Amino acid sequence: MKKIILLLTILLLGACTNLDQNFYDRVTPETFFKSAKDIKAALYRPFTHARWYLGEDRWNLQEYTADQFAITTKGRHWYNGGENERYHYHRWTPDDGWVWGTWRGTLMGIALALDAKSDLEKLDYTKFALTQADKDDHVNQLNTLIAFFYLRGLDYFGGLPVFTSLEGESLPRKTDLETFTHIETLLKEAIQKLPKKKAGDKEEGALRQAAAATLLARLYFNAEAYINKPMFAEAKKLCQDILAKQYGEYSLDPTWFGMHTFTNDKSPEIIWSIPSEFNKLQYDWFFSVFYHYNTAKYFDIDGGLNNGAHLQPSLTPTGTPYSAQYKLGSPFEKFNNADLRKKPYKYLGGGKYEGMFIYGPHLTPAGEVIVGGEEYKNLPMVFVDQVGRFSEVGPGKRYASIADLPSKMSEGEENTGVRIVKVPIPNNTDKTLRWGPDNPAIRLTEVQYMLAECLMREGDKGGAATLINAVRKRNFTGGVDPDPVTAANLDDYRMLAEWGTEFLAEGRRRTDLIRWKKFTSDSWWDHTPSDAHYNRFPVPTQAISGNNNLKQNDGY
C-alpha cells in the first residue's frame, strides 16, 4: 500500500526537487492500476530518475575530481565560491552541494524503484492480458535498477543504508561488504529471470540480461576498492560470457560514432541506454556548461550557453607538453593526430557529422570568424589546449611574457580549453534531430576493456592488446592504427589512457583512477596527491542532520 510513510522516507533520504509523483494514503495497487499502460507507467518512473541521475552532480564527481575535465575561473566568471577548485584539488567537505545531490539522488532512485517493485509484485498480471514472464521481467528490471543505484552509491560513499521496503526510517549504514553482497544478490537473481536481447532488437531503455551481467562484472572489477578483495577472475568470467553472447546478441559498433549518434538505438554495441528525443526527456544536461556563449553560431543553433567546462590542458602556456611532467591528464594529446575523433566537430547535414572536439579558430559553418565577448571582445576566438591569462601579456600588462604566465584553476579565459562534442549537435535546419542520441549507459566496449584489463593483470598483455586494438581500429581511416597497443607498451598508464580516450566524458574517470590506486596518489595538471580518505566522498551534513544513525566516513 502507498502510505504517507513513503513520502516521509523519501524526504529523509533526500529527493529530487522536481519530483512530480503524487502520494496517497489509502490507494492500493489493485485499485490504482487499470490497464497494462498503468503498469508500464509505474515501471518507467524510476527509469526517468536514472536519466537524471547519470548527469549533473554524479557526472561532476566523476570527472571534475579527476584528470580530464575542469571548470576554471574565467575572469569574472565561474569562481563559484571556490567550489570548482575544491573538487579539483580534493578539498571538498560534507557541506558541498554535489555530494549532497549525489547522496540523495542515489537513495531516491532506490526508493522509487522499490516503490514500483512493491506495487507490481502485488498485481495479478493475467488481469491485464500480461504473463508471469512479463511480471518477472518488470520486477527484475527494477531489481537491476536498484542494484545500479546501490553500486553507484557504494562507489561514491562506501556502505549505504540497505532497505528492501519503504516502511522504515532513520536507517544506519550497512558495511561495505553488506552493501556489496546486497548488490550481488540482486544482480544474480535478475540475471536468471531477465530476457536476453535478440539479434535485430533495438535498444530502447529496457534492462536485459546482459545489463545485469555487466553491472555484476563492474561490481567484481572494482571489488578491491569496495571491499579490499580483488575479484578480477570473477569479472573476467562474466566478460568472457557476455562477449560470447551467452547473455544476448551484442557486437562492437563498426564506427567510432555509432554508439553516440542520432540513431544509436540501432547500434549493436549498446547494452543499456536511456532514451532521448527532442522535447521528450532530452539527454542535454551538459549542453549549457560545455560550450562558449558564441558557440551557438558555430553549431548554427539558438543560444543558451554559459562557457564553463573544458578538457584539462595538454600544454603549458609556452607550449611544452604536460606529458613530459605527468603520466596522467593531457586528455586531448592522448588522442593520436590521425584519430578520426580528433577532427574538429562539423555537422554535415542529414544527421551526419565528423569529429568530436572544438579547438583552434572558431568559425561559423560559412567560414565567418566568431568573436569573443570577454577577454577577446570583438576579437577572433581561438580555443587553446592551455590554461593561462594570455590576454594579460604584453607591454604595460600584468605579465611581461608568456613564460611568466601561471597555469592553474584560477587563471582561465573565455577561450580556455578544448571542448568536447560527444553528443552530436545538429543545426537549426535539422532541429528535429536535436537530442535524438540516447545516453549509452552501458556498452559492449566496456566489457571488452574490462576483460583486457583482467588479462593484463594476469600477465597476458598480448591478449589484452588484441582486445583493445579491435576497438581502436575503428578510430582510424581504413582501420590502420599508427600507435596500436602492444605487449611491450601496455602498462597501467597506457591502460588508463585507453579507458580515458574511449570513454572520455562518459562519467567514469574517477572510478578508473581509484581502481589503479592513482586517484589520490598521483599528480596531473595543477593537482598534487591528496589523502587516501578522498577515495570516498563524505556522508553529507544534510543527511546526518536528518538521520543521526548515519556514521561519517573516516577522515571527514
- pLDDT score at 29: 66
Confidence band for 31, pLDDT divided at 50, 70 and 90: low
* Over residues 473-484, mean pLDDT: 98
- pLDDT score at 17: 34
> Could you report the per-residue pLDDT of 121-166, keeping only the tens digit for each?
999 999 999 999 999 999 999 999 999 999 999 999 999 999 999 8
Cα separation, 468 vs 473, whole angstroms: 9
Burial class (CB in 10 A: 0-12, 13-18, 19+), 340: middle
Q: Are 118 and 165 in contact (CB under 8 A)?
A: yes
Give the chain's mean pLDDT.
Answer: 94
Confidence band for 28, pLDDT divided at 50, 70 and 90: low
- pLDDT score at 18: 39
Q: Is the pLDDT of residue 11 over 80?
A: no
* 303-to-297, 299, 417 alpha-carbon distances in Å: 8, 10, 20
- pLDDT score at 167: 83
- Between 116 and 304, name the one with better pLDDT: 116
- 252: Cβ contacts below 8 Å, ≥ 6 apart: 268, 269, 444, 445, 448, 470, 471, 474
- Between 11 and 85, name the one with better pLDDT: 85
Confidence band for 278, pLDDT divided at 50, 70 and 90: confident
Collapsing DSSP states into helix, strand and coil, what is residue 527? strand
- 89: Cβ contacts below 8 Å, ≥ 6 apart: 409, 527, 530
Q: Is the pLDDT of residue 13 over 80?
A: no
Which parts of 222-314 fold into alpha helices (H)? 223-227, 232-243, 287-290, 295-299
Amino acid at 487: A
* 17-to-10, 289, 294, 368 alpha-carbon distances in Å: 11, 20, 31, 42
- 485: Cβ contacts below 8 Å, ≥ 6 apart: 464, 465, 468, 469, 472, 494, 498
Cell 566537430, residue?
A: 345
- Between 451 and 10, name the one with better pLDDT: 451
> Could you report the per-residue pLDDT of 505-532, keeping only the tens digit for each?
999 999 999 999 999 999 999 999 999 9
* Over residues 403-414, mean pLDDT: 98
Helix (H) or strand (E) holding 489: none
Q: Flag the least confident range among 16-20, 153-157, 241-245, 249-253.
A: 16-20
Q: Are 510 and 61 in contact (CB under 8 A)?
A: yes
- pLDDT score at 26: 45
Confidence band for 15, pLDDT divided at 50, 70 and 90: very low
Instruction: Label residues 526-553 b or e (16+ Cβ within 10 Å = b).
Output: bbeebeeebbbbbbbbbbeebbeebeeb
Percent of the chain with pLDDT over 90: 90
The structural domains of the chain, with segments of one domain joined by +, span: 4-194+539-546, 284-434, 441-529
- pLDDT score at 21: 43
Q: Is the pLDDT of residue 10 over 90?
A: no
- pLDDT score at 452: 99
Q: Is the pLDDT of residue 218 over 80?
A: yes
pTM > 0.85: yes or no: yes
Pick the CATH number of 4-194+539-546 from 1.25.40.390, 3.40.50.1980, 1.10.287.3510, 1.20.1260.10: 1.25.40.390
Q: Are 139 and 119 in contact (CB under 8 A)?
A: no
Cell numbers found for residue 251: 557486437
CA dihedral 216, 219, 221, 227 (to 10 degrees): -140
- pLDDT score at 24: 41
- pLDDT score at 280: 85
Cell 592504427, residue?
A: 481
- pLDDT score at 203: 83
* Over residues 300-328, mean pLDDT: 96
> Could you report the per-residue pLDDT of 343-396, keeping only the tens digit for each?
999 999 999 999 999 999 999 999 999 999 999 999 999 999 999 999 999 999
If one counts every other C-beta atom within 10 angstroms of the C-beta of residue 373, the result is 14
Helix (H) or strand (E) holding 70: strand 69-70
